[in-house]
Each structure stands twice: as C-alpha cells, then as structure tokens.
Amino acid sequence: MLEDIMNFDRTRAAGVLAAELARLYGAELQRRLVPLGLSAAQFLVLSELWAEDGQTQRQLTARLGVEQATMANTLARMERDRLIERMPHPDDRRAQIVALSDAARTLRAEAVDAAAEVNQSVLEGLPAAERELFLSMLGRIVNAMRAPGANPQT
C-alpha cells in the first residue's frame, strides 16, 4: 500500500485526468457562452429545460447532480436575468415549476452550437472509432460512480 502511494502518478490517475478534462472543458464552454450572456451552469439548466420544460427545482437538482443550494443560487440568477420563470406547482403548494422564458428559447440554437463546438474540440484528436469508445467508457464510469453504494461519501 505504501509503495502504491509512493509511486502515485497523477498523469495516470483517472480522477485527476477527468478533473482536468472537466476544468478545461468548463473553461472553454464558459468562454463561448459569455457572449450569449450565459454561464456554463446556466447552460446545463437550460439544456434540461430545453429537453423538458416545466420541471421543479428538485427535478433539476437530481438530473444535474448538483447540490440544492447550488441549484437555488443558479435559478435565482437565471430568474434575475429573465431566462426562466417560476410558477406555482399545480399539485404541490411547496414546489414551483421552473419554465423557460422566451429569451431562453431564442438562445437555444446558439448555445447548443457553442457546446457542440467545445465537445468537438475535445474529441477531435481521436479517430472516430476511439471517440465512440471513449464516450462509452466515460458514460459507464460515471454511471458506476452514481450507482447507490458506489461512493459512501455521498
């Protein structure tokens, strides 16, 4: 065990590499979304609402895998920036429905194009067959890490 610690190579550590990829991807996505008046976090919320408009804050939190407080802050900024509207939930007085504003609907094509360009730049160094394999493997790893009991810290 001590030998493994002494020989740790961060350039071969899956978590370190994944974190660096996420950091670089997020920075480039942010750079491309700023001209649209969006942050990367707002884009992720919008992408969920573009797929299915009219979700609750709890649904968005679960689908994006973020903390409740983080989602609350993001939604507050989005409401301030008139990207979303909140309405009372028809069946639950404690909940609100988060819906797209007309302004957010008009941003969809440009924002999705920006994200697709970033994604393409991440993958462009890989041949097509390796791209599919890489994405498949990443998906399986993420799903395994999300599985109940996979991470006792959560």
CB neighbour class for 147 (10 Å; exposed up to 12, middle 13-18, buried from 19):
exposed
pLDDT of amino acid 9: 83
The candidate with the shortest Cα–Cα distance to 39, out of 96, 115, 122, is: 115
Regions in the chain scoring below 50 on pLDDT: 152, 154
**pLDDT for the residue 121:** 93
Q: Which pLDDT does position 154 carry in this prediction? A: 45
Domains (range + CATH), the chain:
2-126 (1.10.10.10)
pLDDT score of 75: 97
> How far apart (Å, rounded) are the C-alpha atoms in residues 109 and 133?
28
What CA–CA distance (Å, rounded) separates 139 from 13?
17
- Please, what is the average pLDDT of the chain? 91
What pLDDT, on the 0 to 100 scale, is given for residue 12? 78
